Amino acid sequence: MQNKRGTSLSAAAHTVASGGVIAYPTEGVFGLGCNPSDEKAVTALINLKDRASDKGLIIIAASREQLTPFIKPVGNNIESQLKQSWPGPVTWILPASTTVSEYVTGGRSTIAARVTAHAAAAELCNACGHALVSTSANLSGQAPCIDADQVAATFQHLGYIVDLPVGNLQGPTPIFDGVSGKQLR
């Protein structure tokens, strides 16, 4: 199966709505994504990466509101830190709502999330109308893909590859613990 590829965010959003897995640019690397509420799509994404299901996945959104279904309310101190770092290339580990699939959380009571400042990724979330899974586009243990050509060479069974450039960040986003504030990656 040949991957569909192009610059159409509406085609990528249609693929997500149909339960497919896509690849798209983020702040520093390409991400693999799907609807985080579609357990079948999340499972397919995990299998594509050959990733352990207990590792958990990051979700991204265009706005804080798109994260509301996935995150429990946080204290004012953490909310203030989120407002200072979002939108931006900062991922936070936050308390997950009880409705989030264990495939997304890795079986934890937390979820990794960010409001992206990458224009194409944010527009894609808006085109989908919800947050997206955003895990680096790579086979488990390999370096992340940084362009659509690398994605196409690595994965042959994606629903769509958004062929637009990644941002200026060198590598994946930093991750911070929403309780301690400590940087984890």
Q: Does residue 182 lie in a domain region?
A: no
Domain range enclosing 51: 5-177
* Side chain identity at residue 46, one-letter code: I
Which residues, other chains included, contact 112 with Cβ-Cβ below 8 Å and sequence gap of 6+?
56, 57, 58, 59, 91, 92, 93, 94, 175
E-only strand ranges, 41-157? 58-61, 91-95, 110-115, 132-133, 135-136
Q: Count how many domains the chain has.
A: 1
pLDDT digit string, tens, across residues 132-172: 999 999 999 999 999 999 999 999 999 999 999 999 999 88
Number of residues that this document lists for the chain: 185
pLDDT digit string, tens, across residues 21-76: 999 999 999 999 999 999 999 999 999 999 999 999 999 999 999 999 999 999 99
Q: Does residue 87 lie in a domain region?
A: yes
Q: Does residue 183 lie in a domain region?
A: no
pLDDT of residue 65: 97
**Residues 99-123, mean pLDDT to the nearest whole number:** 97
Can you give the pTM of this predicted structure? 0.95
Say if residue 3's pLDDT is above 90: no
Number of C-alpha atoms within 13 angstroms, CB side, residue 76? 0
Q: Does residue 95 lie in a domain region?
A: yes
**Residues 116-141, mean pLDDT to the nearest whole number:** 97
CATH number at residue 115: 3.90.870.10
**Residues 4-33, mean pLDDT to the nearest whole number:** 97
d(CA 118, CA 164): 11
Q: Does residue 184 lie in a domain region?
A: no
Say if residue 1's pLDDT is above 60: no
Contact 157, 1 (CB under 8 A): yes
Q: Does residue 151 lie in a domain region?
A: yes
pLDDT of residue 113: 98
Q: Does residue 71 lie in a domain region?
A: yes
Q: Does residue 85 lie in a domain region?
A: yes
